[in-house]
Amino acid sequence: MFELKKNTKGGFHFTLKAKNGQVILSSEAYSSKSAAENGIASVKKNAQDETKFERKTAKNGKFYFNLKAGNGQIIGTSQMYASEAGMENGIDSVKNNAPGAGIGEEP
């Protein structure tokens, strides 16, 4: 499920949650609701493409990934994972959950 939220500065962002409610991908801030909805559509479109996942290691040694759009822009970033295997499971979760995920809005 994608969760679309209005932030305190009037913009919007979204998260992709697994069936257990855990956040597996978070977006950057968007200036409008329609821009955030376009971001969600881009995640759905690109989630099946292995080449769109950028695997990274943070300075603290934890692992995370970015999902990029066709133009190279980052459209979502994962949480931090303690292991590389955890990060790969997160990528699999995005691939499995994003394409058919609905959109819910917080009031």
In order of their start, the domains of the chain are 2-105 (2.30.29.80)
Of all helices (H) and strands (E), which one includes residue 91?
helix 84-97
Q: How far is CA 79 from CA 31, 33, 71, in A?
A: 23, 23, 23
pLDDT of 8 reads 79
User: pLDDT digit string (tens) for 41-100?
Assistant: 999 999 999 999 999 999 999 999 999 999 999 999 999 999 999 999 999 999 999 999
Q: Do the strands 53-57 and 2-6 form a parallel or antiparallel pair, or are they unpaired? A: unpaired
Secondary structure class of 31 (helix, strand, coil) = coil
Question: 65 and 54 in contact (C-beta within 8 Å)?
Answer: yes
State pTM to two decimals.
Answer: 0.91
